[in-house]
């Protein structure tokens, strides 16, 4: 897997390219290869005195890895449609907020 990240001139914007990856099995004929993908993360922070509030979105484009095949039970008997080995996760977009106070 190759990882390439690009930090844009705007604060807190990152685009990352995750290279292709392979989920090996006991039998090489059941190995599954997954395609490369781009993932963008965006966040905005506001600082006021000793406090910082940040809101952000990871995986802005709601990217998912390729779906797993039923061969070799990679899909955990049908319960997980996407690979748990994906370097950028299998849950899609993630929205968050955080607050920090420094004293």
- pLDDT tens, residue by residue, 41-62: 998 888 889 998 999 999 999 9
Average pLDDT, the chain: 82
What is the number of domains present in the chain? 1
Name the CA radius of gyration of the chain, rounded. 18
Which tokens belong to 83?
Answer: 């690979």
Long-range pairs for 64-67: beta carbons < 8 A, 24 or more residues apart: 64/90, 64/92, 65/34, 65/35, 65/37, 65/90, 66/32, 66/34, 66/35
Range of the domain at 65: 3-101
pLDDT of amino acid 73? 58
pTM of the model: 0.70
At 62 the pLDDT is 94
């Amino acid at each position: 897997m190759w990882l390439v990240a690009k930090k844009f001139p705007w604060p807190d914007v990152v685009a990352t390219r995750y290279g292709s990856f392979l989920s090996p099995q006991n039998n090489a004929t059941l190995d599954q290869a997954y395609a490369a993908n781009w993932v963008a993360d965006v966040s905005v922070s506001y600082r006021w005195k000793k406090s910082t509030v940040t809101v952000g979105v990871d995986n802005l484009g709601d990217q998912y890895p390729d779906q797993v095949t039923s061969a070799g039970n990679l899909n955990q008997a049908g319960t997980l449609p996407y690979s748990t080995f994906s370097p950028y996760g299998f849950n899609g977009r993630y929205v968050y907020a955080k607050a920090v106070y420094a004293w």
